[in-house]
Amino acid sequence: MTLSETGLANVRRAAPFVALLVLWACAQADPAPVAPVVATVAAPSAVSEAASAQASTPAAASASAPPSASAPDAAPTVLSAWTDPGAVDALVRDCHVSLARPSEEDPGPLACKLPYDQSCAYDPCYGKEQDCRGSCERTCGSCDGACSKGCDACKKPCTDDVCRHDCASRAGACKQDCRASLDRCATGGCAKNAQACATKVADHWRARRCSCKKIRAECDDSCIDGSINDPKNAPCFARCRARFPGCDVFYCAGGNEPGGPSEPDP
């Protein structure tokens, strides 16, 4: 047997012992570490906060949501001119719409009516002014009617809302011009003429040396203190005018001196 053959024979005889030694060493070694499975558990305070937030979410949503009850009606739009968008929208629907207020004292700026003004004192100039104001209102009404008819004619060939709105805008401007003319007629015309009338009457009263104190002293108090519209007082007033020619004794029935404040009873 050669040396190599002898070594190989020794290795073969030692192999079982080497295998046993390796198995024993593996059994004594520490087992391979296993990564632990960690369950994420929230801290008590975090759980409490999350629960509180979840519970408050519906309440917050309901608080931010609009109330289920119907909201109150919006305040009506106040219109000050026929050119206001609300007035134009009304004209889109109806060229003949009336937006006047149902009040004689304050018919509003969109009416062909002037505020009603009443005076109980005798004043022919005031009566003339009211007649003039009535004429202004009638002129405004005719002007307004022409604007409405023009609006109808303008909208007749329209095929869309843009065209109809343009016609309504023109009608609104037309109607507003009528109101401006009404104001000029009443203030620049009627009021100015009434003031001129009052000045003329006062000048005439002073020129004739009229005086309610004299008239009341010499005329029958039964008519001077009575109504000028009562037929039974007519003869008394006739005698009084005869005594004071050129003086309108009706002014003295209420103690009103033309061109001045009311005169107190003597």
Where residue 11 falls among pLDDT bands split at 50, 70, 90? Answer: very low
Tokens matching residue 189: 């015309």
Give residue-wise pLDDT tens across range 69-118. Answer: 444 444 456 789 999 999 999 999 999 999 988 887 889 999 999 988 77
Q: Are residues 90 and 200 in the same domain?
A: yes
**Would residue 175 count as lying in a domain?**
yes
212, 265 Cβ separation under 8 angstroms: no
Say whether 256 sits in a helix, a strand or coil.
Answer: strand
Closest among 108, 124, 133 to 190, alpha carbons compared: 133
Q: Are residues 160 and 194 in the same domain?
A: yes
On whether both 168 and 200 belong to a single domain, the answer is yes
Q: Do residue 198 and residue 213 come from a single domain?
A: no
153 domain residue, yes or no: yes
Tokens of 46: 């975090």
Q: Distance between CA 130 and CA 197 in Å, rounded? A: 13
Are residues 176 and 222 located together in one domain of the fold?
no
40, part of any domain: no
Reported as a single tens digit per residue, the pLDDT across 30-60 is 444 433 333 333 333 333 444 344 444 444 4
Tell me how far apart the alpha carbons of residues 54 and 33 are, in angstroms, rounded to a whole number. Answer: 41
Q: What is the pLDDT at residue 77?
A: 67
Q: Which domain holds residue 167?
A: 85-205
For residues 92 and 185, state if they share a domain.
Answer: yes
Residue 88 contacts residue 164 (beta carbons within 8 Å): no
Q: Where among 189, 205, 221 does a domain terminate?
A: 205
Question: Which pLDDT score is estimated for 160?
Answer: 95
- Is the Cα dihedral 199, 204, 209, 211 positive or negative? negative
- Whether 133 maps to a domain, the answer reads yes
- What is the pLDDT, as a whole number, of residue 13? 54
Average model confidence (pLDDT) across the chain? 75
Higher pLDDT, residue 10 or 208: 208
- The verdict on 112 and 219 lying in the same domain is no
Determine if residue 209 is left, alpha or beta; phi over 0 gives left, psi from -120 to 50 gives alpha, anything else beta: left
Residues 115 and 221 in one domain: no
Give the chain's length: 266
90 and 186 belong to one structural domain: yes
Q: Are 166 and 240 within one domain?
A: no
Residues whose CB falls within 8 Å of the CB of residue 201, separated by 6 or more in sequence, listed in order: 124, 125, 248, 258, 259
Q: How many domains does the chain have?
A: 2
What pLDDT sits at residue 105? 81
Confidence label for 231 from pLDDT (cuts 50, 70 and 90): confident
Q: Are residues 201 and 102 in the same domain?
A: yes
Residue 171 falls inside a structural domain = yes
pTM above 0.75, yes or no: no
Over residues 155-166, the mean pLDDT reads: 96
Considering only residues 238 and 260, tell me which one the structure prediction assigns the higher pLDDT. 238
Continuous segment of H or E residues that includes residue 12:
helix 3-28
- 114 in the same domain as 101: yes
